[in-house]
Structure 1
Amino acid sequence: DSAALLADLRQRIDPAFLPRPLYLVAALPRQENGKLSRAALAALAHACRARG
């Protein structure tokens, strides 16, 4: 639940550093070697923004 996560983060992090908007995903995209796939992450972020 993104509302619960943001409420928890507000107690721990300065509001200026909170992400806006916040998208919840099941898992971060990884390459075969286990590293974060920045290209796939950018595509995922774009898709999330398009959905609203």
Structure 2
Amino acid sequence: MSLTIRNPKVVELRELSPSEMERIRREAQQQARSEERTLIMRRMRARLAS
């Protein structure tokens, strides 16, 4: 599942319904957002520590 989220082209090769595509795209966006948040927190902590 993580592979299909990270590589949208792989998802499009399969026969997916529009609702499935939308759900996968939304999951990918949420994943990217949460990863971005942890990166920002890590940077802030690094700045505070120095």
TM-score when scaled to structure 2?
0.38
Name which one, 1 or 2, has greater alpha-carbon Rg.
2
- Higher RCO, Cα 8 Å, sep 6+: 2
Select the structure that is richer in helix: 2
TM-score when scaled to structure 1?
0.37
